[in-house]
């Protein structure tokens, strides 16, 4: 969408928890597709997309016959990219990007730090008409702090070496970074901005304004979000507005709630 000489891009990141409930395994992909329709983003960064699961048959537990990513793309996305992170006997899951703009290239990079956690970095390039190519990175970092830091350094090295310094960049996903060590690494190395900076402050920050510092939004667990796990970092774009939808309907869809950001590109 264009406004004057600026292009507006709505972006969202969403960990969909393989599109199913954790214990019963009931399919939630219909709810997630509805969520994508409500979010109405131009670019969606998804984590834990289970694009193949041979244990479930079409129609069982409300699971659609189509592959999960293809089914979700029917919410209005002509272009998609998928990077497999973890392969097992009955299927695989990974990160994905849905786009309303042409994806001209994409590559998945294995950034696993140990055998127990398979992690990947999905890098894609979209080229909307009339603006420079936009680089996209979709991530789901590890649960172990030192693993996350090593993965963040790999990402930083990749951006510094492979993406032109002046190119617009959107980096989003589930960073599992509740201690904010990765956050400091990315800001220091890449000069990126997190979209929800200064969107939220606690009572002590309001009482003592000089104490304030940027804080990512709370997105986990979806029933009562208090951990700041999901992030959208940008470079070369400005942030117009961010929001995190909440409520019972969102809590039923995944254990995370999405982070949504309206961005502007000169």
Query: Domains in the chain, start-ordered, CATH in brackets?
Result: 2-265 (3.60.10.10)
Give residues with Cβ within 8 angstroms of 209, minimum separation 6.
Answer: none
Q: Determine whether 202 is exposed, middle or buried from the number of CB atoms within 10 Å of its CB (0-12, 13-18, 19+).
A: exposed
pLDDT tens, residue by residue, 69-81: 999 999 999 999 9
Confidence band, pLDDT 50/70/90 cuts, at residue 209? low
pLDDT value, residue 151: 96
Angle at CA 76, nearest 5°, toward 216 and 127?
70
What are 53's strand-pairing partners? 91
Confidence band, pLDDT 50/70/90 cuts, at residue 236? very high
pLDDT value, residue 23: 56
Euclidean distance between CA atoms 87 and 89, whole angstroms: 7
pLDDT value, residue 59: 47
**Average predicted confidence (pLDDT) for the chain:** 87
Euclidean distance between CA atoms 20 and 24, whole angstroms: 8
- Lookup: tokens for 170: 């959107």
Sign of the torsion angle spanned by Cα atoms 217, 219, 223, 226? negative
> Phi-psi bin for 75: left (phi > 0), alpha (psi -120 to 50), beta?
alpha
Does residue 203 have a pLDDT over 60? no
Give residues with Cβ within 8 angstroms of 127, minimum separation 6.
Answer: 101, 102, 104, 133, 134
Secondary structure of residue 24 in the 3-state scheme:
coil
pTM, to two decimals: 0.88
pLDDT tens, residue by residue, 109-164: 999 988 888 899 999 999 999 999 999 999 999 999 999 999 999 999 999 999 99
**Structural contact between residues 43 and 259, judged by C-beta atoms closer than 8 angstroms:** no
Q: What is the mean pLDDT of residues 49-65?
A: 60
- Lookup: tokens for 187: 């800001």
Euclidean distance between CA atoms 48 and 51, whole angstroms: 9
- Lookup: tokens for 121: 């970095």
pLDDT value, residue 226: 92
């Amino acid at each position: 969408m264009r406004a004057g000489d600026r292009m507006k891009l709505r972006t969202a990141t969403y960990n969909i928890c393989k599109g199913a409930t954790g214990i019963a395994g009931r399919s939630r992909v219909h709810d997630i597709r509805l969520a994508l329709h409500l979010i109405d983003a131009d670019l969606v960064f998804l984590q834990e997309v289970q694009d193949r699961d041979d244990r479930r048959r079409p129609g069982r537990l409300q699971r659609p016959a189509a592959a999960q990513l293809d089914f979700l793309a029917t919410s209005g996305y002509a272009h998609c990219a998928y990077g497999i992170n973890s392969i097992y006997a009955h299927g695989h899951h990974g990160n994905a990007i849905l786009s309303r703009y042409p994806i001209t290239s994409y590559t998945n990079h294995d950034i696993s730090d140990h055998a127990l956690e398979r992690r990947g970095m999905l890098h894609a390039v979209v080229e909307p008409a009339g603006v420079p190519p936009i680089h996209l990175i979709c991530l789901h970092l590890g649960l172990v702090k030192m693993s996350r830091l090593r993965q963040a350094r790999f990402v930083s090295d990749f951006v510094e070496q492979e993406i032109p310094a002046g190119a617009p960049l959107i980096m989003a996903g589930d960073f599992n970074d509740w201690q904010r060590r990765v956050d400091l690494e990315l800001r220091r190395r890449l000069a990126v901005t997190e979209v929800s900076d200064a969107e939220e402050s606690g009572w002590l920050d309001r009482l003592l304004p000089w104490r304030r510092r940027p804080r990512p939004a709370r997105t986990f667990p979806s029933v009562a979000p208090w951990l700041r796990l999901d992030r959208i970092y940008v470079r070369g774009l400005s942030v117009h507005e961010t929001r995190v939808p909440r409520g019972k309907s969102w809590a039923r869809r995944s254990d995370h709630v999405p982070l949504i950001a309206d961005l502007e590109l000169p």
